[in-house]
Structure formats: C-alpha cells, structure tokens
Structure 1
Amino acid sequence: MSKADSHIIEPPRLMAGAAVVFWGALSGNALAGFVIAVLLEARNWVKIRWDFGEKGHVKAYQVSLFLLLIGMVMIWMDGAGHYALLKIVQWMPLYALPVELAQRYGRQDSMYLNTFFYFSRRRMIQDRREGREVSPLEINTGYPYIGLVLLAAACTTQASWTYMAGIILFTLAVFMAVGRQRGMRSLGVLYLAPLVIILSALFQWGLVRLNNYFRNPGAQNAENLEAGGGAINAQYARLGGLGKVKQSKEVMWRVWTSMTPGYLRVASYDTYWDGLWTYNYRADGFDDAVEAFEQDGSITVGDVDHLAEVYREEDQARGADLRDEQGARIRGTVENGSPTTIVPSLPGYFAVSRMFGTNVTSENNPLGTLRLINRDVIIDYMLWAESGNVVQDAAPRDKDLAVDVKEAPVIKNIARDLKLHELSSARAKVTALQRFFISEFEYATHFEADYDYREKSELEIFLTEAKKGHCEYFASAAVLLLRESGVPARYTIGYAVEEKEDDVWLIRGTHGHAWCRVFLDGKWEDVDFTPPGWLDADMAQVDMSLVERFQEWLKLLREDFQIWRQDEANQGKFWMAFSGLGLLLGGWLVFRLWQSRLSIDAEGAHVYWTGDKVETPLLQLEKYARNLLGPRPIGMPYGEWISGLYDVEGVNRAELNKAITLHQKMRFDPAAEMDEAELVSLVAKVKSALKKAPRSQ
C-alpha cells in the first residue's frame, strides 16, 4: 500500500495556525490565538515526539472533555443565559487543543475514530478480548480541528466584509487542499469554488444571526419587557396570567433588608378592557411604553464610592444621604436575553444603587414600574425606600376612575347594593369591600367553571355566580368597584413577601400575587382584597422534589458566586486560586510528557525517515500485528516486530520469514533483482492465516 493510496489526509503546514490566529482576531482573543498557533505549528521545527498510541489519544480526548467541562461551568457561573451555547462554541479551539496536539506531536499520523465514542471504543476492546477481528476507522484530526476553529470564528456579532472574506478564504483553502490530495483536477476545483464561497458565506451569516438572537432575543420587540425570568409580563396583565407562575416553587428573587417588605411590585396598570390590564401611556403623552420609562431619566447623586440614582429633584437630598435601615438588597436571575428588563420594587422606593454589572442604569414610568438597562443575567441591586410613602406613582388622573363599559352594569349594581356611594370616606369603602369579599367569596387556585362565557365576562361570572377565584379576580373587581364609588385605584402585580429564611426573604413563583393601589388620605397605598389564606392554598398545590431542591441550590449558588467573584476585593483571590490550580495541573502534565518524550534524532532514520519511503506489501500486515501484538515498541524495526507473528496458529513460519526478507531487500536494496509478485503472494497467505487464527494469542 503506497502513501498515495492512504485514506489519511493531512492539512498543509501553517493552515491550522493561521486559522487560529484568525479566530483570535475575530473573537477578541488575539493573545490566546497566537499562543495556540505557536503550539500547533512548532511541531514543524521541534524534534520531540511522543508515542501516544491508542490509550494516549483517549487520554488527550479526556483532557479536552475536562477543559470543556471547566469552560461550561465557568460560563454557567457567569450567567451567560441563552448566550452560553455560543460562548462554548467560541472557545472550541482551546477545548479541542489537547487532541490536536496529541495528533501533531505523536508518532502516528492518525487516531481511531472511536476515540471520541465511549461505547464504540468499549465494543472494540471487547471484540479484541473475544478474538474477533477489528478494523476501526482512522482519521487525522487536522481538518476537523480547522473546521471547529472556523466555526468558532464565525460566531461573531456582525457580518462585515472582513469577517466574511476571511471565512470564505479559509473554507476555500481547505476545500482546495482536500481536492488536490484526493486527486481532483484543478478545473474541477475552480468549478466548485463559487458554490463553496456561497455556502460558507450563508453559513457565517446564519451563525451571526443566531449569535445576535441569543445575545438579545428581545431586540426586535423593545416593548416586550418582562420580569422574574419571564414569569410575569410587565407590559400587560391578563386575568389568569399568573396561573403558571403560581405553580412554581422556584425562588425568583431574594431580598435582604431589616424592613418587612410586604409586597414586591413588578408593575401597575390603569386601564382595563375585556379581561386585560394595561398602562395607557398614550394618555400621558408618550408614543410608546419605552418613552414612558425615559420620561425624565434618573438623577445621579452621591460620591464616587456611593453613587445612587433618584428620579425626582426632591429626592436628591435623601439619595445623597442613604441610611442602612432604608435599604433592601434584591437579587435574582432573568434569562430572557433582553438587555433591559423590569425588576421588582419596594413600596416607597426613592433611590436605586449598587447595580451589578457594567454601565447599568435604571428608569421608571409614571406608575412607578422600575426597569434596569444594560443589566446582566444575574441581577443584584439596592433599593432605598421610605416605609408607608409611595413616592414614584403619579398623582391620580381621570383614567384612575374609569370603568370598562362592558363591566359597567354589573359594577354599578354591586356598588349600589353595597351602598358604597353612601360611605363617607375612601377608607370606609375599602373596609366595606374587604368585608364583602371575605364574607361572600372564597379563594380558588383556578377559575374553571361551567358557565356561558359568551353571554357574560369572566369578571361578571366571578362577581355574580361563581363567587370564587384567585387574586387577579379579587384585585380587578375591587379596583373597578372603588373607581365606581369615586376612589382612584390601580391594578398591581408582583409578589407577596411572606417567607423568610435566616436573614433573607425568599420570593417564589407561588408568591406571585395581584393587589390594588388605592389613593387614601392623599397618598397611594397597597391594599389586598384577596381573602386570607390564599398563600397556603397556593403552596399546597405544588410539591418540591429533591431534584428541584438541588436545582434551586445550584441556581442560588451561581448567583452568590458570581456576585462574590465580581467584587473588586475578591477578584484577585479568585484568579490567584484559579491560576494556581491551573499551574499545578499544567506543570504535572508537562512533567509527565517530558518524561515520555522521544527525540527524532535519537530514534534514527528507520523510525523518522523524512525522505522518500519504499512501501512494501508487508505493511498490509500492520493492523493484524497491532491487534495481536499491540503497538510496535519504540525503536523496534518493522521486520523484527512482524516476526512476532511466527507463533500465531496457522501462520507458516517459513513463508513469513521469506516475506520479511523480501521486504527488507525491497526497502534497503532497491537495486536488487526480485519478484514483487512473490512478496504479494506470501503476504496474502499470511494474511489469510491471520484472519482464521484464534485471537487468544
């Protein structure tokens, strides 16, 4: 078998190094790309090799898997969210490096394909033990590695002509190199080149779009603002929308504060229509919901070490003199991918500070809904509040007294029956409504009943027939009844703060709640009309398994670790510990490799001959010898190694000995006269005997 007939195809020199440098330039890791390129291409000049063999290749693959695992853990701990997959792909040149180095600096020009497949490898080992013939496929990892590098380089945030041209050139170079080694004519390469260019350009464009989507899936819809990991929609609230949230015991947020929060608001709404609550930003003179948040912006107060953001001029003095007893630290994870998201706020908040991330800012809308801009997946911030004083909500407007035309008849009738208009104060009306709901209604986790929804709305059925439901129905009905009686009111969603563990309040999905903002005694107050005991009823619906508890522990651990690591006081400690561990492992690996190194010069020409090689038919016995005798020992001539087959049952010793003699003469005395056909015949006989021989040799 001649070298030209070999199925192993190696990439041209320097191609892998150039590809890695290109990846480093595109990904912003130029130094890493240069170092990896030097390691890859140094094998062309360094005269050191290793006899890794089958087991060494497996170990190199295991090192790659270990690096991949470390990378996945680090990316997960960093809170990459939807972008984690692409971040993993972007670092594939590093993760796959041990395998490629084992290929380049090893004696073999290929490795078994089943090196990368555990069960296939185990099957091959079992076949050997039981005497069955095995012929595993072999590959050279050069081109697959270059493909991974180009895949990683294509995961960029933009498709400029520079990036596109680089991807196309490398793809075309790989194609042409493979084509030449496969014997493809130059004309055929030119014919197929346009197709290769088009496909590589489409491939890179697709990865760019995918990358941008994972980085910011909400970029196409700026108004799709959510909170709590997408659990509660902050732009609208539909009756029944909290149902899925309240089925989860997952910890959405944690709050550290010396106060008793009561409620965490996500959003407030002033307009109701056919079961849907929204904020009517157009009535306030804004073109969209985003502009409503940007109304006047925030005001930065304090010094460099204690910056805070307030939203009204009258809050500047308080924002510059923050007191610990007014503070609450809130932490959670939101993985919806948008750089802007709604976050929970405390009643009476007037300032925000210590927002985790780079260049993170805050804004709120006229109803007091708070959002963070340029935030990370893991969110951590401080809220400063004045108990009992809701300062961010706009003063009552006409729409805070509006009742949906569709619901108006039933609302008027109930308000008349309760004689709400006859009560002297707004607080008396609130008290009357609370008694009404507690005495005549019951709480239910689901609003499902056999009623004709074509004739009546859900809210009317709740008030007149079912008289049971969950918090959304109680809050919606109460807002409309209060408005009918002349009391300004708004619908609010968020979380009821009820569970405390040590020094932290835990906010779970089951704490999702709806209540009212009511204008009482000249200020907005939170008022809950849902009958007591609703939280116990919701918590009883969902059991938490051990797996779910473990997942929750991991989530909270990730949040705490990321916040701890980003603290300037801890960054040095983290990187010292991480680098020290890496140096220890790297030093041990380098020491082991140095001990087992081989020198090209020391091994002699018969092992690393770089000139023209004479391939003889006897080389066809190599795979059989490897299966029966194991890898050829370092420095042992091929003929001496093959002579180990003398003792195999069925092999004619004289025929094998003559074949070895002819092989040596053909290799080292090309001028000698001999009949190659005789050697071919002898090898065929030995091969036939080896196929029939038992494998227990």
Structure 2
Amino acid sequence: MADTRPAPRLLLGASLLLWGGITGRPLIGLIIAVAVEAAHWTRTRWEFGNPAYLRAWQVAILLLVLTVGVVWLDSSAISALPNAMTWLPVILFPLQFVQSYGIRRSMSLANLSLFLRKRREHSRKHGLPFRDIRFCFDHVYFCSVLISASLGQHSRSAFLFVASVVLVIWWFIPRLSGKRMKPVSAGLMLLTAVGGGYAGEKILDYAYERLLIGRYQLGSLEYSRHTRTAIGDLGEIKQSPEIQWRLIPRHGELPRLLRVSSYNNYLNTYWSTKLPKRVGEEDSEPLEFQELQSVGIEDPFRITAQNADTTTATSPAFPQFTVRGGTPRKDLFPLPANAGSMVLPAQNIEINAFGSLRVDPQHPVADALILWGDPMDTALPPWSDPGDPDRESPDLQIPNNEEPAIRRFVDQLGIRDLPLKEKVAVLRGHFAREFTYTRYLSLPDPKAQDEYERANFISLFLEETKRGHCEYFATATVFLLRECGVPTRYATGFAVVERDPDSGEALLRGTHGHAWCTAWDEARQTWIDVDLTPPDWSGTETPYMPAWQGLLDRWQILRDNILVWRSQPGNMAIAIVIVCLPLVAGAALAARRLWRSKRQVGPYRDRKAAKAALALSPLGLLEKPATKHLGERPLGTPLSRWLLDVRPALASTDQLDEAIEIHRRLRFDPTADADSLRSRLESLVAPLRRELKRVPRRQA
C-alpha cells in the first residue's frame, strides 16, 4: 500500500533550498520552499477534488513541454531533456500545491493515468470493484527535487552527496519510529542507495563520454591534438544526417572545403599534431591555442590569417558568407584554409599553428561572417631548416611500415620530379580511373582475419584492395606527396556538396564530414587543399535518410534563426515577454479563482463561528489536540461525529461519549439546563484534552 503520511516538516523546504543552490537558482528555490512550507503555518485550504488534481497534472505536463521546448532552443536535442529535468521542482509545483493546501492527505494514482481513470469510470458505471491506489505526493516531489539537484551545474560537488544522504535519513526517521522498518534493514537500504548512486554516476559519465561525445566528435578539446581514423575498420561507416552548419552566401562564391583541424603525424591509424625536434630530443607538445586580437576595440572583425595585415584581411573585395550553427561547448570552428577574417561578436576566439580555430561560445548558435580568398592562410608554414639537418620535419615523415609501398607507387607513376600541380593532376587521374570510393569495407580474403589486423592498411589500399573512404585517399595522398618532397598535412572538416535550391544556402551534415590533404606550395608560399577522393564520393552509396529528416531540418533551421535573432541586442527582452506573458496571465487567473474559493480549516476555519461554538460548547477545545491523530477535520463534518474517530487513542472512551452527548444536548435540546450541562462538559473536556496531548501521534 502506498504511504499516505506527509513528509516531515521543513524537509521539502530544505531540499528545495539545496536544489536552488546546486542549480544556480537560489531565489527560485527560496520562493518555492516558502510556498510549500507555508502550508504548515496557515489554515487556508481548498476542497480540491479529483478534477483539481487532474487539472494540476495537465498544467505540469504543459510546463514540461514548454520547458523542453525553451531548453531545446539553447542546447542540443540530446541534452534538452536532462536540462529540462533540472526544472522539475517548478514543473511539479502545481501538483504539490494541491497536495499541501488541499483538505485530503493523499491523491489517487488514477488522476495521473488516463488508463486508470478509464478503468475507474468503467467500474463505477457497471458496479465493478476498483482498487483506488492513493499516495501522498510529498514523497514524489521530494525525490524529484533530489533528482533535479543531481543534474544541476554543481552536481559534482561533494556537498550535494552529503546533503542528499542527510535528507534521505531525515525522510526515513518517521518510518523507523513507527517500527515499520527495522534499523538494520533501513541501514542496508541506505547503504545500497548510496553505493548505487555513486556507481550510477560513474556509469552515466562513462556512457556520456563513449556514446554522446564519441571518438569521432568534431570539436572536442582533444580533437585539435589527435584523432582516430576509421582506417582498418570493417563494415559500414555511419554518419549522422543532422545539419551541423549552414553557409549563407553574402558576396561571391562559397568554398568547397571547410577545415576543422589538421595533423602531420600518423601512427597506427591515429593522426596527431607534432612539432619538429632535433634527433635524440623527446617529442615536444603541440603549440597551444592563442587568443586572437580584434582589429579594433569597437570593431568585431578578428584576424584569423597568420601574419596578415589588417587592411588586406578585411578587404571588402573578398568573397563573403555566413557560417551559422550550434556551438554547445568550446568547439573547433569550420573555416576555409584561406580565411582572412571573421565577424563574430561577443565570442572568445583562439587559433593554433595548424590553423585550427577554437571558439568559446557565449550564445547557443554562432553566426559568423567570413571573408576569404588568396593570399590569406590561417596555418603557419611547414617547419624545416635546410641549414640544420639534425632537425626533423614532421610534415615530411612517412611511417616505416608504409614507406616501401609508397616508394613503389611513386616510382610507378613517375611523379617524383614533376611540378606540384602536375603531381596532383597525375594522382587525381590515377585515383579516378583505378580506385573506388566506398563506405563499406570487407576483408580482401575472408580467411585472412589475423593477417588483415596486422596489415599496413595504406599499402594494402594502394596495391591490393584499391577501395576505401576519404580517410584512405587523404592519408595516401599525404604520404605520396611527402615521398616527392612536398610537406603535407592531413585535414578534416566538411565538404560543401548540398545546396538548398530555394535559399541557396549550403547545408553541412554529419554525412558531409570529409578528410583531405593540404600541401605546401613553395612557389606561392601557401598551403593548398588537395582532395583526391573520387569526385562522385558524395553521391555514391548515399546513406539512408529517414522520412522525417526534412521536418527535422526545417525545425533546426527555424530554431537557429530564432536564437540568432534572440542574441541580437534588445531582442532578449522581447522574447522573455512573449514566453512569460501567457504564463503570467494563466497564473493570475488561477490565483483569482483560488482567492475566491479559499477556506479556513481546523480551529481557525471561521474565527467568529469558532468563538460562538466554543461559547455554546467547550467540546471545541478538543479539536486542536485531536488534529494530530486524525488530520484536519474535513469541511462540513460535524465536530461530534469527527471526534468519534479519536476513541482508539484514549484509555477509556466513557468520558468522551458523555462529553459528546452533553454537547449535542446543549446544541439541540432547548429544555436542557445549559449552565449545569456546560459546567459538566468543561470538567470532562479538561482531562480529555490533557490525555490527547500526551498520547503519541498516530501513524498512518
């Protein structure tokens, strides 16, 4: 049977204050705590029936939907529900209000379930039995407050863990005093809850790192230093069809490739960044990101091109476009390799030596105007010193296990001494004729599983399988050009392959994630993009797109546009008014109806009537001490009939029965001797009142 006893006094208030502190909403937590605990300090109540509970549940669902929608605008779809759950104390407050300020001590579970309500109506209609499960919502609300606090921004704090344990023990105390649970059992349950909570936190952290962030997540903090490719993996390469970024044309053409990060060191299917070192030195760390300086204090342009002068980088003659997309955390930003400058107000922007740009977002959606074109370059030149032969150049290194096959391939094509442009042309033609792009890889020999796992995958790709995805083509191109003496790097990002026919915008989806090579053009003293993946790769084996993807795209575009509008100066206040005005109007209407229908219960239900009744009969002095055994007297229930339920708490019921009989005679017998009966009633009420005060509170 469900527990219908209310939560201990001040427990809900303390938990709400904890929630407010952990989630960074102390004022909201204080207001709700006062509203909930005020039910113990006032006798104002309402006769809430099943329709009121149902209406409160519907309001809570509406608040949940609105909260998820608003939070979704400020975060990703994955994190929208957990972020909305941090508002559970506010969302469920209507239900807690009708519980705290209602006449009844419990609510029916059928009020929260359409299925149970239908069964209840069917049973009543046909005279069938129906077991109505009732419970006190205090306990549900208490659990929801702790769950919300555990999802807050300071949920890692040890204080939350300790405070939660204290609150749970506080909640257990009345159950232990009623001997419904042995102390040993309660201790074991508490230890199990503590251990389960700790283990659950670790499991959720692991799942988040492995499933939500993922090892291929573009924009993670470690992605600028190293990334694991899918080279050597068998099966299909799956990518998300969700829109990551949009390119909105402004002036001139759009770039074909947008780089997120680049690397120069390959080892065991991993690409990483590496600085040059002398022979015998330990490997050095990659250059850290450095903050970019704006062109002027009031000018939102920020230089991204390395060593570029202000006038050149901000020339209006450059092609221009806007990059718009979500930035849920400190992310790497997609840019063309020859970006000159960008307009991105109110953001912290950093860049490293490889040309990777990192943005610390202050708005949920970034909206950056990019100027790009020759002779801009966001990456520094390759590290090489012809006068210092002992200094290695990572941009020219080839793995020892792949070097023989790379050398044979270059000699076969005869491109070693050709100019860079001709080298690229020969390789492009050869790959287009002899190689096949595929997202699905299988064993060249089904019986050679062990040999395949130890294989040199790029050599196998060039000389045997001649099948692979963009990471194979990009990595092979890097090694082939290095064999010819050209410094190269491996680049990852997006390819512009999809345009919206109506708006002209380019859509960059997860399926458009791409890898290519950047080569150093010595004649022009700049890095150039070399993409030798067969040109039909984007249309080959197109991944499955769900039927509702178009609807999701339209919603995401609308969401991004709304958030960009909201982040502009002055628009936030308008958005707050639009969202809050209906809620304020609804709350005012509900408050008006509650004010008009309020009641006073217990000894203070109607002070004038109580004084008149007390003057007529001293039996009213028993109502207050009897309340701790029976709860509040239901509205409309006669005092004499209600006091009959307190008989089990008394050692002898004779005095109570006589007192009730005298009370009835005083009220309804006009021939009774009022003075003598009243004197007798006072003598009976005084010891009954003392006995009721001494008797322990009855457990439900």
TM-score with structure 1 setting the length: 0.75
Gaps of 5+ in 1: 620-631, 642-663, 674-697
Distance 1:666 1:61 in 2: 46
Per-residue Cα deviation, 1:232-255 (whole angstroms, up to 9, x for no partner): 997235354898666543322111
Contact 1:229 1:252 (C-alpha < 8 Å) held by counterparts = no
Per-residue Cα deviation, 1:328-361 (whole angstroms, up to 9, x for no partner): 33233366xxx433332212124444167xxx43
Match of 2:355 among 368, 372, 375: 368
> Match of 2:47, SS?
coil
Change (3 A) 1:468 1:213: closer
Change (3 A) 1:526 1:153: closer
**CA displacement at 1:9 relative to structure 2:** 1.3
Change (3 A) 1:165 1:217: same
Contact 2:47 2:103 (C-alpha < 8 Å) held by counterparts = yes
Q: How does 1:541-690 map to 2 (within 5 A)?
A: 541-600=542-601, 601=605, 610-613=623-626, 635=636, 668-669=660-661
State the match for 1:176 in structure 2. Answer: 173
State the match for 2:482 in structure 1. Answer: 483
Per-residue Cα deviation, 1:423-479 (whole angstroms, up to 9, x for no partner): 3x2222222222222333343443435245548633333323333433333333333
Contact 1:226 1:234 (C-alpha < 8 Å) held by counterparts = no
Matched, 1:428 2:422: yes
Contact 1:483 1:489 (C-alpha < 8 Å) held by counterparts = yes
Contact 1:331 1:381 (C-alpha < 8 Å) held by counterparts = yes
Match of 1:330 among 323, 330, 337: 323
Change (3 A) 1:551 1:286: farther
Q: How does 1:304-323 map to 2 (within 5 A)?
A: 304=298, 306=300, 308=302, 310=304, 312-316=306-310, 318=312, 321=314, 323=316
Change (3 A) 1:396 1:433: farther
> Match of 1:434, SS?
helix
Q: How does 1:192-231 map to 2 (within 5 A)?
A: 217=209, 226-227=217-218
Matched, 1:254 2:246: yes
Contact 2:228 2:271 (C-alpha < 8 Å) held by counterparts = yes
> Match of 2:561, SS?
helix
**CA displacement at 1:573 relative to structure 2:** 0.7
State the match for 1:524 in structure 2. Answer: 527
Distance 1:421 1:16 in 2: 77
Distance 1:98 1:60 in 2: 5
> Match of 2:574, SS?
helix
Letter in 2 for 1:90: T
Change (3 A) 1:245 1:576: farther
Matched, 1:354 2:341: no
State the match for 1:650 in structure 2. Answer: none
Distance 1:372 1:141 in 2: 45
State the match for 1:537 in structure 2. Answer: 540
Change (3 A) 1:610 1:577: farther
**CA displacement at 1:50 relative to structure 2:** 1.9
Change (3 A) 1:554 1:283: farther
Per-residue Cα deviation, 1:506-529 (whole angstroms, up to 9, x for no partner): 112332322221223232111222
Task: State the Cα RMSD in Å.
Answer: 4.4
Distance 2:295 2:18 in 1: 45
**CA displacement at 1:263 relative to structure 2:** 0.5
Change (3 A) 1:116 1:287: farther
Contact 2:226 2:270 (C-alpha < 8 Å) held by counterparts = no
Q: How does 1:508-519 map to 2 (within 5 A)?
A: 508-519=509-520
Per-residue Cα deviation, 1:129-150 (whole angstroms, up to 9, x for no partner): 2211223122222233233334
Contact 2:489 2:517 (C-alpha < 8 Å) held by counterparts = yes
Change (3 A) 1:349 1:672: closer
Letter in 1 for 2:31: V
Distance 1:472 1:27 in 2: 43
Change (3 A) 1:203 1:98: farther
Distance 2:65 2:52 in 1: 20
State the match for 1:236 in structure 2. Answer: 227
Letter in 2 for 1:280: K
**CA displacement at 1:548 relative to structure 2:** 2.4
Gaps of 5+ in 2: 385-392, 614-619, 643-655, 666-700
Match of 1:390 among 370, 377, 390: 377
Distance 1:153 1:344 in 2: 36
**CA displacement at 1:168 relative to structure 2:** 4.0
Question: Percent identity at matched positions?
Answer: 26
Q: How does 1:372-521 map to 2 (within 5 A)?
A: 372-373=359-360, 378-387=365-374, 389-395=376-382, 397=384, 398-423=393-418, 425-448=419-442, 450-451=444-445, 454=452, 457-501=456-500, 502-520=503-521, 521=523
Letter in 1 for 2:561: D
Change (3 A) 1:477 1:192: closer
Change (3 A) 1:44 1:324: farther
Per-residue Cα deviation, 1:22-52 (whole angstroms, up to 9, x for no partner): 4323433222122212322333454432222
Count of aligned positions: 613
Contact 2:237 2:439 (C-alpha < 8 Å) held by counterparts = no
Per-residue Cα deviation, 1:134-190 (whole angstroms, up to 9, x for no partner): 23122222233233334434445266675555434433332223433x2579xx76x
Contact 1:666 1:672 (C-alpha < 8 Å) held by counterparts = no
Contact 2:14 2:33 (C-alpha < 8 Å) held by counterparts = yes
Distance 1:253 1:594 in 2: 51
> Match of 1:304, SS?
coil
Distance 1:142 1:507 in 2: 49
Letter in 2 for 1:267: S
Distance 2:662 2:203 in 1: 59
Higher mean displacement: 523-532 or 234-243: 234-243
Distance 1:557 1:345 in 2: 23
Matched, 1:36 2:35: no
Change (3 A) 1:271 1:287: closer
Per-residue Cα deviation, 1:404-436 (whole angstroms, up to 9, x for no partner): 32222222223222222343x222222222222
Change (3 A) 1:201 1:567: farther
State the match for 1:683 in structure 2. Answer: none
Contact 2:56 2:94 (C-alpha < 8 Å) held by counterparts = yes
Higher mean displacement: 456-465 or 241-250: 241-250
Per-residue Cα deviation, 1:182-236 (whole angstroms, up to 9, x for no partner): 2579xx76x889778867766776788789889x959xx9x97841689999723
Contact 1:234 1:342 (C-alpha < 8 Å) held by counterparts = no
Matched, 1:141 2:154: no
Distance 2:308 2:301 in 1: 17
Letter in 2 for 1:496: A
Per-residue Cα deviation, 1:245-293 (whole angstroms, up to 9, x for no partner): 665433221112333211011222323345544332475999776x523
Distance 1:465 1:584 in 2: 72
Distance 2:300 2:549 in 1: 38
> Match of 1:34, SS?
helix
> Match of 2:287, SS?
helix
Higher mean displacement: 11-20 or 340-349: 11-20
Letter in 2 for 1:177: P
Matched, 1:265 2:259: yes
State the match for 1:654 in structure 2. Answer: none
> Match of 1:421, SS?
coil
TM-score with structure 2 setting the length: 0.75
Distance 1:549 1:518 in 2: 38
**CA displacement at 1:575 relative to structure 2:** 0.9
